Amino acid sequence: MERIDWAGTGWEELAARVGRVRLPGWDCTTGLVVGDGAALLIDTGSSLREGARLRADVRRLLGGDARVTHIALTHPHFDHVLGTAVFSGAEVYGAVGMDALFAHPGARDELCADAVRQGVDPAAAAEAAELLVTPHHRVCGEWTLDLGGGVQVLLANIGPAHSGHDLVVCVPGTRETVFCGDLVEESGEPQAGPDAAPRHWPAALDRLLALGGPDAAYVPGHGSVVNAGFLRAQRAELAARFGVS
């Protein structure tokens, strides 16, 4: 496989065939892992417009008619899922239960309302919510994806914690790369909304550390890439904040 030239694209190279971009507005991370004829996108942005921008980025990065073939949604919040519909034909993965959540009456309205509260244009939010994509594949425990060319990734369901349905993506390599979703935040305090399970959050970070190990690069849902020491410190802060060990 040829090496990807990330220079000048706005994307950050994390490892061979692995990169990420920090989207404007909420500093939300989207990740990309490229195999041989397959590409996994991790989260899709807060609107169809952001999704279309990501789709165009992938084509520029990979050339020709390259497209996203797989999508992993780290959790069901608007800024991570509302761009999914633009990726026609992609296989979408989410933690088990996310499919039922999205099918629940009122779920689309609540996603739309949350997006609007956070500043998304009401018409854009309504359109994206109307076209909301339910995950095709439900991850319970762990799921290995083979992207070809020797590139494999591990999807691991380690929630509930930040949300009711938290999924992380581990990419082996010389240095493991772990996409954490909003289980980890660097650019602000971790947010515990109404669907969070705060008492389970420290244990989820223990599981995350066990998956990635002490030398991994941990990619938060918002902010700069961090190390295991940062995760241990954030775990201690969350345990103190929520009164758990």
Give residue-wise pLDDT tens across range 192-209: 999 999 999 999 999 999
pLDDT of residue 41: 98
> Is the pLDDT at 1 greater than 80, yes or no?
no
- Helix, strand, coil tally for the chain in percent (to 5): 35, 25, 40
Q: What is the DSSP letter of 27?
A: T
Average pLDDT of span 9-21:
96
**pTM for the model:** 0.97
The predicted-structure confidence for 129-168, as pLDDT tens digits, reads as follows 999 999 999 999 999 999 999 999 999 999 999 999 999 9
Overall average pLDDT of the 85-99 stretch: 97
C-alpha 201/C-alpha 97 separation (Å) is 18
Please list the residues that pair with 32 across neighbouring strands: 19, 41
Q: Using CA atoms, how far apart are residues 74 and 213, in angstroms rounded to an integer?
A: 20
To the nearest 10 degrees (0 to 180), the angle between helices 201-212 and 228-242 is 170
User: What is the distance, to the nearest Å, from the Cα of residue 26 to the centroid of all Cα atoms in its chain?
Assistant: 14
Is the per-residue pLDDT at 102 higher than 90?
Answer: yes
